[in-house]
Structure 1
Amino acid sequence: MTLFYRAIKQGVYQIFHLRSERPLSRQDASSRISAFVYGDILILAALIALYPEDLLGLKAVSYIVGTGVSTYFAHVLAQSIGSSVETDDHPLGGHLRQEVWHAAPIASAALGPTLFMVAALLGWIGPDLALQLAILVTVIRLAGLGWVVGHLRGERVSVRTLLLGIILAVLCVAAALLKTVATD
């Protein structure tokens, strides 16, 4: 259990700290969690809109990568402009570098699903399985949010943090389904 816990802890550290030696402030952690949720919801909505046959060509890969990249850049720009209200800095000035760092979880949301889709494109796994795994990995990321939030708050893993993660995942899946239904 200790090895598993350390592996999970290191994964969370890399996702939220990007190997930075400085601890995250509550504001930084909040920004990164928001980006994490936002990126996963939009990637999940994009995945739900795909069909297994879309994975046989470049459509699915370009759809997911395009969703991740466009969401990343839109988020960085919006947050940078929004942050400029708090200070006298130019919107594309000092806040831009910080927002690029805060938005990294959006880009990471597209990584796992893209790898499964490339595997299907190369014929290593079937398109049905690849799409199911891409959706599953995104839902697992969302379900882990309760633990991540608890960890960033300094809380130990508990039934409460696990239930919070499951509830968050269900709410995020509902948001992704709503986005998919509303745009189809």
Structure 2
Amino acid sequence: MPRATPVVGLVTSWPWTKREVAAGTLTRERAAERVESYVYGNVLVLAVVAAADSTTVQNGQAVLLVVGTAVSTFVAHLLAVSVAHRHGGHELRSSIRDSVPIATSGSLPALVLLAGWLGWLTPTAAILVGLASIVVRFVLLGSVVSHLQGERSTWKNVLIGVGLAVAALLVAGVKLVLTH
């Protein structure tokens, strides 16, 4: 199996993902569920970070909104998964595990916004770095998918990721316009 590049290795560094990729037990369907969760969580967090301003960074509200969005979306998804797999068992546990990217989508942006709240970054810098961190995650997604499928990443994967990042920015923009 091809070795992951260091960046892709960071993105897929969850222990269960590494074990499953190495063992070849991560099915296309399960990988697709993880990618869905990854995209969904990151689009919602992107919209929240894009709505932040200097005041919400300085009073800590931006951090709380990012964490609250990631956690509440994850909990809502867990509820939906538990209803869909009401008999429980291995399938339910796998679906829950595949939903973790929703919960983790806000981790880096929340830490960056926390740095802005603590005064380590200016509010504007915190917002821009928070947005950039999410956009970079989208740009790398094509490479991550290739890695999960046991393939080498190519420039085509990066271009697909750039297209995904643009689409995510548009979706987040629509969400901002309609909900703020």
Find the partner of 2:113 among 112, 117, 123.
Answer: 117
Find the partner of 2:69 among 64, 67, 70.
Answer: 67
Q: Report the 3-state secondary structure (helix = DSSP H, G, I; strand = E; otherwise coil) of the residue aligned with 1:144.
A: helix
Instruction: Among all aligned residue pairs of Structure 1 and Structure 2, give the percentage whose two residues are the same amino acid.
Output: 36
Partners of 1:143 and 1:169 within 8 A in 2: yes
TM-score normalised according to structure 1 size: 0.86
Paired residues for 1:99-118 under 5 Å: 99-118=95-114
TM-score normalised according to structure 2 size: 0.87
Partner in structure 2 of residue 172 of structure 1 = 168
Partners of 2:78 and 2:96 within 8 A in 1: yes
Partner in structure 1 of residue 143 of structure 2 = 147
Partners of 1:12 and 1:148 within 8 A in 2: yes
Moved over 6 A (4+): none
Structure 2: unaligned runs, 5 residues or longer: none
Deviations 1:134-177 (A, max 9, x none): 00000110111111122222332222111111111111111111
Q: Work out whether 1:97 is the aligned partner of 2:99.
A: no
Q: Report the 3-state secondary structure (helix = DSSP H, G, I; strand = E; otherwise coil) of the residue aligned with 1:14.
A: coil
Partner in structure 2 of residue 26 of structure 1 = 28
1:20 is displaced (CA, Å) by: 3.5
Q: Distance in 1 between matches of 2:16 and 2:31?
A: 9
Partners of 1:16 and 1:29 within 8 A in 2: no
Higher RCO by CA contacts (8 Å cutoff, separation 6 or greater) = 2
1:97 is displaced (CA, Å) by: 2.5
Letter in 2 for 1:156: R
Q: Distance in 2 between matches of 1:13 and 1:183?
A: 32
Q: Distance in 2 between matches of 1:80 and 1:119?
A: 36
Q: Work out whether 1:35 is the aligned partner of 2:37.
A: yes
Partners of 2:8 and 2:143 within 8 A in 1: no
Partner in structure 2 of residue 81 of structure 1 = 83
Partners of 1:45 and 1:177 within 8 A in 2: yes
Q: Distance in 1 between matches of 2:17 and 2:100?
A: 8
1:18 is displaced (CA, Å) by: 4.5
Partners of 1:15 and 1:105 within 8 A in 2: no
